[in-house]
């Protein structure tokens, strides 16, 4: 706008319409979405933000039957697109974006980030959503009878076996060194649900399987973090990966899976102790996993790192949790500067409970599992976790994360860096 241009009187009026009563605001939002369909996205996003600032709880209540129904992220977004035209991307828009490489997408997920950010910002709606996401998945409930009877399940990227009261979750994406994508997040949440729901399981173990990658053939690898090739190809989604991972299986490991049964009067959550054994490396999301388990062992030649800032994204909830373990200065070095922590470094003791030679790690893992079998361990870990992490603080962090990470996914530096990483020889890690 030049100095002589008249002010745009329409924008204040539109902002006011978005804050009017819900029926009038809904109609105004639909008109604005049609009017600005071909315009740069900033103006419509501002109007969506104004609408949600005024109506988030009413919108969420309508979508969930007055918070009487549980909510899943993807289903909630789809319902919002149908009930409130213009509020979030349509199913067709998201499907068109999914078929494209990251650099070619229209960025509709930013509007999903805006929507979920506002929902999570509300103590009422965000609290209900987070609690709903602790419920077991339909896939897990379908597989539970067979797993309870047989004690094993091959979920694709995760193998699950119950042996001597221990649920052993083995990450087995040997094609990509256990680098995570949407598929593995779904498999992991299913495996975590099964382990927590099975009454024959006392405690749980996370470990990487043996790899076939030429550089690591025959060696166990814990996790290479986010799959950068998949991100470059457009296969890492905000809802199915970045939000579901944090609010789904990671939160379930920390807090438990929600079950409404005869014991719900005591606690609706079924939680169990978790042990993680790190072979070779725990990069990115692999290191984030260590922040929600109860005991960490590592081979003496292993290392931990969080290179997300170098890749241009936010490393999940690590920014929220890591300073509790390391203190703020070391956390900043790890997250902002990419500092790598080797298992034998002095500071590794802040993140790893036991370090053993690679040949001794198997026996050490079994000893650690025996120490966590006490009936009082579960009650005490619940009270430790309650004291360590305030649920409302976690919700507020996730509200900011939903929008910040959505912007990062579509930033020029991320697209450029991921394209270079994916073009390198070997398996990219993050």
Cβ-Cβ contacts under 8 Å for 264 (sequence gap 6 or more): none
Cβ-Cβ contacts under 8 Å for 35 (sequence gap 6 or more): none
Q: Could you list the beta-strand ranges (E) of 172-316.
A: 203-208, 257-258, 269-270, 274-278, 281-283, 295-299, 303-305
Distance CA 314, CA 41 (A): 23
**pLDDT per residue over 156-211, tens digit each?**
999 999 999 999 999 999 989 999 999 999 999 999 999 999 999 999 999 999 99
Quote the pTM value. 0.93
Q: Would you place residue 267 in the very low, low, confident or very high pLDDT band (cuts 50, 70, 90)?
A: confident
Q: Reply yes or no on whether the pLDDT at 31 is more than 90.
A: yes
Q: Would you place residue 310 in the very low, low, confident or very high pLDDT band (cuts 50, 70, 90)?
A: confident
Q: Reply yes or no on whether the pLDDT at 81 is more than 80.
A: yes
**pLDDT per residue over 366-386, tens digit each?**
999 999 998 899 999 999 999
Kindly tell me the burial class for residue 364, based on how many C-beta atoms sit within 10 Å of its own C-beta (0-12, 13-18, 19 or more): middle
Q: Reply yes or no on whether the pLDDT at 227 is more than 90.
A: yes
Distance CA 128, CA 124 (A): 6
Beta strands 203-208 and 166-171, pairing class? parallel
Across residues 58-83, what is the average pLDDT?
Answer: 97
Collapse the DSSP code of 152 into the 3-class scheme (helix H, G, I; strand E, B; otherwise coil) and give the result: strand
Point out the least confidently predicted range of 34-38, 79-83, 321-325.
34-38
Q: State the pLDDT at residue 418.
A: 73
Q: Reply yes or no on whether the pLDDT at 254 is more than 90.
A: yes
**pLDDT per residue over 95-142, tens digit each?**
999 999 999 999 999 999 999 999 999 999 999 999 999 999 999 999
Q: State the pLDDT at residue 379.
A: 95
Q: State the pLDDT at residue 429.
A: 54
Q: Reply yes or no on whether the pLDDT at 10 is more than 90.
A: no
| Mean pLDDT score of the chain | 93
Task: Convert 53-83 to b/e letters by CB count within 10 Å (16 or more is b).
Answer: ebbbbebbbbbbeebeebbbbeebbbbbbee
**pLDDT per residue over 34-50, tens digit each?**
999 889 999 999 999 99
Q: What is the number of other CB atoms lying within 10 angstroms of the CB of residue 258? A: 19
As a residue count, the chain comes to 430
Q: Would you place residue 9 in the very low, low, confident or very high pLDDT band (cuts 50, 70, 90)?
A: low
């Amino acid at each position: 706008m030049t100095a002589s241009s008249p002010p745009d009187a329409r924008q204040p009026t539109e902002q006011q319409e978005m804050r009017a009563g819900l029926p009038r605001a809904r109609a105004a939002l639909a008109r604005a979405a049609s009017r600005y369909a071909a315009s740069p996205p900033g103006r419509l996003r501002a109007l969506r933000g104004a609408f949600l600032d005024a109506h988030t709880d009413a919108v969420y209540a309508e979508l969930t039957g007055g918070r009487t129904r549980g909510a899943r992220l993807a289903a909630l977004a789809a319902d919002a697109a149908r009930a409130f035209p213009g509020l979030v991307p349509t199913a067709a828009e998201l499907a068109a974006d999914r078929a494209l490489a990251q650099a070619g997408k229209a960025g509709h997920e930013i509007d999903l980030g805006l929507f979920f950010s506002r929902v999570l910002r509300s103590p009422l709606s965000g609290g209900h959503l987070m609690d709903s996401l602790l419920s077991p998945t339909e896939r897990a409930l379908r597989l539970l009878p067979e797993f309870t009877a047989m004690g094993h399940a091959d979920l694709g990227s995760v193998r699950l076996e119950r042996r001597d009261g221990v649920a052993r979750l083995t990450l087995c994406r040997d094609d990509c060194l256990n680098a995570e994508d949407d598929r593995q997040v779904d498999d992991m949440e299913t495996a975590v649900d099964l382990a927590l729901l099975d009454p024959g399981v006392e405690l749980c173990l996370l470990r990487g399987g043996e790899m076939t990658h030429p550089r690591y053939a025959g060696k166990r690898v814990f996790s290479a973090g986010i799959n950068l090739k998949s991100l470059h190809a457009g296969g890492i989604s905000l809802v199915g990966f970045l939000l579901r991972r944090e609010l789904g299986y990671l939160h379930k490991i920390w807090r438990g899976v929600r079950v409404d049964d005869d014991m719900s009067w005591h606690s609706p959550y079924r939680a169990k102790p978790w042990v993680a054994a790190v072979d070779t490396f725990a990069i990115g999301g692999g290191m984030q996993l260590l922040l929600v388990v109860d005991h960490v062992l590592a081979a003496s030649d292993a290392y931990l790192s969080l290179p997300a800032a170098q890749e241009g994204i936010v490393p999940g909830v690590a920014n929220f949790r890591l300073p509790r373990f390391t203190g703020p200065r070391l956390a900043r070095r790890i997250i902002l500067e990419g500092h790598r922590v080797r298992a034998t470094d002095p500071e590794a003791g802040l993140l790893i409970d036991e370090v053993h030679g690679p040949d001794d790690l198997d026996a050490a893992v079994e000893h650690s599992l025996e120490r966590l079998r006490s009936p009082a361990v579960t009650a005490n870990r619940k009270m430790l976790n309650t004291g360590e992490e305030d649920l409302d603080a976690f919700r507020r962090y996730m509200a900011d994360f939903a929008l910040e990470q959505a912007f990062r996914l579509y930033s020029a530096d991320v697209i450029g860096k991921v394209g270079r990483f994916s073009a390198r020889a070997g398996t990219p890690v993050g």
